[in-house]
Amino acid sequence: MGGFLANPVTRLKVILTALAAVVLGLGLAAYGNLPGGRGAANVGSAGPVAGSSGDTVTSAQGLGADTIADIVARTSPAVVKIETVVQGQSDKIFAGDPLLRQFFGNDFPFGSQVEQGVGSGFLMSPDGYILTNDHVVSGASSILVTVAGRSRAYQAQAVDQNYSLDLALVKIDAGSDLPTLTMGDSDQSRVGDWVVAIGNPYGLDHTVTVGVLSAKARPVTVGNRQYSNLLQTDASINPGNSGGPLLNLAGQVIGINTAVGTAAQGIGFAIPTSTVKPVLDNWVSHKPIAFLGVQLSGVPSGTAAGLNLPDGQGALVAGVVPGSPAAKAGLSPGDVITRFNGGTVNGPDDLMARIQGERPGAVARLTVIRNGASLGVQATLGSK
């Protein structure tokens, strides 16, 4: 054996053969774990493997080959397309100029402008109540709703709107047997859970995207709106998706798709059902909405760190309405509200939803941090 390997040429051939065998083995192992590779079906599989018996491949999380398609088949008919028309005002700066009027006469070119928009929503009741975003229908002179399987669009009316929470309830008259979606509990959803988004991005009806719940209680600012308790997902959300549902694997709504991070890919946001439910309950039952009388914003990260508050928790009082329940209770700008009736406040949106989930006249128990000290405050909620 020693004489055989002593030959330099033979020794080189042995080394090259061994290296080739190692490289080939690594390549086959990698291929076997690639999606679509022959070994891919076994990776992370906890259930039966597909075979001649017709069993479905099931992952460790229970996501079968037909899970998403089945969810879409059940829920998609309740997702609607919302088209709006917003009449803009005349350009008063130019229209009021006498020189321009003298030059153009009655053919003045700076007239009213018409803006058209497309969004999404979903049916909450068989008789045509639809939940969507406030920014989808805000200021619209015409709201048209297209229901899957119907030959025509329906004129809709805005029933209730909430600017601060970016929620709206609209109504169509399209019979009493419309498909509906069920509201789930976003508080029970965990980061890493699979989620499904359905909507009309860029007007493309009933587009389905899939991802995971990337984070919870995200603070986000979009234009003049400040959101503080959003769900984050990497399921693609694009313009036109606003107002559509974010679903869990049970086909339940856990969020309303609202915004997309334009600076990066794979970052979308949804309003959690924990924020939606109290407001929706009041709208449907036509109850008066409770009112505290504070202007709120998120707690700056530096302030939160100094108060040992986790990111996204608490609501900063930016202003107090004179004569309001908040003013009568002694709340002041700069106060940070951390708890409401014993529950942790996860940002301004969460606090607003908790307030509006109460009845007017109820006594709210607040935990407030003022000048670094924690104190309890009681306020009798008003009505608006």
DSSP structure string for 185-219: -GGG--TT-EEEEEE-GGG-TTEEEEEEEEEEEEE
Alpha-carbon 93 to chain mean position: 38
Residue 190 and residue 275 share a domain:
yes
CATH number of domain containing 124: 2.40.10.10
| pLDDT of amino acid 41 | 28
One domain for residues 303 and 245:
no
pLDDT in tens, the chain (384 residues): 445 445 555 555 555 555 444 433 433 333 333 333 322 223 233 333 333 333 333 333 567 889 999 999 999 999 999 999 987 654 544 445 554 444 444 554 555 577 889 999 999 999 999 999 999 999 999 999 999 999 899 999 999 998 878 999 999 999 989 999 999 999 999 999 999 999 998 889 899 999 999 999 888 877 777 787 899 999 988 888 999 999 999 999 999 999 776 666 788 999 999 889 888 877 776 767 788 988 888 888 888 888 888 877 899 998 888 899 999 999 999 999 999 999 999 888 889 888 988 888 999 999 999 998 999 999 999 986
> Is beta strand 336-340 parallel, antiparallel or unpaired with respect to 343-344?
antiparallel
* Structural domain of 300: 287-383
The verdict on residue 130 lying in a domain is yes
Matching residue, tokens 């036109």: 240
pLDDT for res 50: 32
Residue where one domain finishes, among candidates 172, 207, 224: 172
Residue 166 known to be catalytic = yes
Q: In the prediction, which pLDDT does 282 show?
A: 75
Contacts of 91 (CB under 8 A, 6+ apart): 110
Same domain, 107 and 145: yes
Pick the last residue of a domain from 114, 140, 172: 172
**Is residue 131 within 8 Å of residue 169, measured between CB atoms?**
yes
Question: Which helix (H) or strand (E) is 226 found in, with range?
Answer: strand 225-233
Sign of CA dihedral 156, 157, 158, 159: negative
Cβ-based neighbours of 383, under 8 Å, separated by 6 or more:
288, 289, 290, 291, 360, 361
Separation of alpha carbons 269 and 219, rounded Å: 10
- What is the distance in angstroms between the CA of the first residue and the CA of the last residue of the chain? 96
Q: Could you please report the per-residue DSSP string of 315-350? A: EEEEEE-TTSHHHHHT--TT-EEEEETTEE--SHHH
Last residue of a domain, one of 283, 304, 332: 283
Examine the residue annotation and report whether 301 is marked as an active-site residue of this protein. Answer: no
pLDDT of residue 8: 56
Asked if 262 and 336 sit in the same domain, the reply is: no
Question: Is residue 20 assigned to a domain?
Answer: no
Q: Choosing from 76, 120, 135, 189, which is the catalytic residue?
A: 135
206 is catalytic: no
The predicted pLDDT at position 273 comes to 94
In a domain, 19, yes or no: no
Number of separate domains in the chain? 3
Task: Give the model's pLDDT for residue 202.
Answer: 87
Q: Would you give the DSSP letter of residue 289?
A: P
Catalytic residue among 166, 335, 349, 350: 166
Give whole-number Cα distances, 378 to 326, 336, 366, 368, in Å: 9, 14, 6, 10
Determine, yes or no, domain membership for 367.
yes
> What's the pTM?
0.65
Are 380 and 363 spatial neighbours (Cβ–Cβ below 8 Å)? Answer: yes
Q: 76, 120, 189, 242: which is the annotated catalytic residue?
A: 242
The H or E element containing residue 68 is helix 67-75
